[in-house]
């Protein structure tokens, strides 16, 4: 057992921990991340809110690519890391879970009260009438509107988008809201250029400020959306632990840093903290 793992065990054993998770936690579920080992070879430009709402061609391109990507996201199941986080929560060691992921896998693994910072990909909202529907229903409608769409996705990204050449999406038909009939549909996730709802951010800050420790799992902390919570914890003198494969932009604020696979590490952690010790004979 390494010194770093022993330090991680001590950090979590004391309880009062808030988890901040990123895409690296979901790679073992088959969803590649952006910047870690599974995503390092790809260059992906995420959809911006401005392009999605103002450019019909960009919007059509997004829905064509996301339609294909949904096959992977919908099939993804919680992995050992998600299950370990849920077990730590049930054991009373976690005071909260904040995730930057949009895959819903924390909840699927049994965690409760998860703050999904960037929303969920399995929910769709009409920007005109506000009606909310499930992604499976939209997937059915898109399939019916595009019966001959058979493009093959090269890579799926954490936001459900895929890499496709522009010519592969020519002729793809997006659909409007099924309730008001004309409204623009958007996945209920925060695009680049769009702000996270202020009350949601305030809830996260309050959770972090009450925490005894902040534990970052599978995030490079490249964007400020997640890194700000590390900065807030450091400002308040709250210990920060980081478990991630590869460097992060929060390493300078970490009181402990472990570069290791998430699933195996968190499984070992929960075993050390929640399984009863055999009685001596």
- Go through 29-59 and write b for each residue having 16 or more CB atoms within 10 A of its CB, e for each that does not: bebbbbbbebbeeeeeeebeeebbbeeeeeb
Q: Is the alpha carbon torsion for 59, 221, 71, 89 positive or negative?
A: negative
Residues 147 and 235 in one domain: no
Confidence of residue 156 (pLDDT cuts 50, 70, 90): low
- Summarize the confidence of residues 136-154 as an average pLDDT: 83
Catalytic residue among 82, 118, 155, 236: 118
The token duo for 71 is 């096959």
Q: What is the mean pLDDT of the chain?
A: 90
Residues 256 and 281 in one domain: yes
Closest CA to 205 of 183, 169, 233: 233
Contact criterion met (CB below 8 Å) for 257 and 242? yes
Residues 159 and 260 in one domain: no
Residues 139 and 234 in one domain: no
Residues 98 and 173 in one domain: no
The per-residue pLDDT for 278 is 55
Phi, psi of 21 (to 5 degrees): -110, 155
Q: What is the pLDDT of residues 54-91, one digit of tens each?
A: 999 999 999 998 998 888 888 899 999 999 999 999 99
Give the separation between CA 198 and CA 203, rounded to whole angstroms: 9
**Of 164, 189, 214, which closes a domain?**
189
Which domain covers residue 147, as residue numbers?
42-75+120-189
**Of 165, 189, 213, which closes a domain?**
189
Contact criterion met (CB below 8 Å) for 66 and 139? no
Give catalytic status of residue 118 as yes or no.
Answer: yes
Which residues fall in the annotated binding site? 100-103, 126, 129, 177, 180, 218-220, 244-246, 262
Which residues fall in the annotated binding site for Zn(2+)? 126, 129, 177, 180
Q: Is 75 exposed, middle or buried (0-12, 13-18, 19+ CB in 10 A)?
A: exposed
Closest CA to 8 of 233, 277, 254, 228: 254
**Has residue 163 got a pLDDT over 90?**
no
3-class SS shares of the chain: helix, strand, coil, % to 5: 40, 15, 45
Give the separation between CA 42 and CA 28, rounded to whole angstroms: 18
**Has residue 204 got a pLDDT over 80?**
yes
The per-residue pLDDT for 158 is 66
- Summarize the confidence of residues 115-128 as an average pLDDT: 96
Residues 99 and 229 in one domain: yes
By DSSP bridging, strand 119-126 and strand 132-134 are antiparallel
Q: Domain count of the chain?
A: 2
The per-residue pLDDT for 126 is 97
CATH classification of the domain holding 175: 3.30.1600
- What predicted TM-score, i.e. pTM, was given to this entire model? 0.90
Token pair 């010790």 is at which residue?
A: 277
Which residues fall in the annotated binding site for NAD(+)? 100-103, 218-220, 244-246, 262
């Amino acid at each position: 057992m390494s010194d770093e793992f022993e330090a991680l065990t001590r950090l979590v054993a004391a309880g009062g921990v808030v988890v901040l998770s990123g895409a690296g936690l979901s790679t073992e579920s088959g969803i590649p991340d952006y910047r870690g080992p599974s995503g390092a070879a790809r260059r992906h430009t995420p959809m911006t809110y401005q392009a999605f709402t103002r450019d019909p061609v960009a919007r059509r391109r997004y829905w064509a690519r996301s339609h294909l990507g949904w096959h992977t996201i919908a099939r993804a199941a919680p992995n050992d890391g998600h299950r370990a986080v849920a077990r730590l929560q049930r054991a009373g060691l976690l005071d909260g879970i904040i995730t930057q992921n949009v895959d819903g896998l924390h909840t699927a693994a049994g965690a409760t009260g998860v703050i999904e910072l960037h929303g969920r990909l399995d929910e769709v909202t009409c920007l005109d009438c506000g009606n909310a529907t499930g992604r499976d229903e939209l997937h059915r409608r898109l399939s019916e509107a595009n019966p001959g769409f058979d493009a093959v996705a090269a890579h799926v990204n954490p936001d459900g988008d895929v890499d496709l050449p522009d010519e592969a999406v020519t002729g793809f038909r997006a659909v409007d809201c099924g309730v008001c009939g004309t409204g623009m549909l958007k996945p209920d996730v925060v695009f680049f250029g769009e702000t996270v709802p202020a009350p949601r951010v305030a809830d996260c800050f309050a959770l972090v400020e009450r925490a005894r420790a902040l534990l970052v799992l599978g995030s490079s902390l490249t964007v400020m959306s997640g890194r700000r919570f590390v900065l807030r914890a450091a400002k308040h003198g709250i210990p920060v632990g980081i478990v991630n494969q590869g460097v992060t932009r929060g390493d300078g604020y970490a009181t402990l840093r472990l570069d290791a696979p998430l699933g195996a590490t968190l499984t070992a952690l929960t075993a050390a903290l929640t399984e009863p010790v055999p009685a001596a004979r």
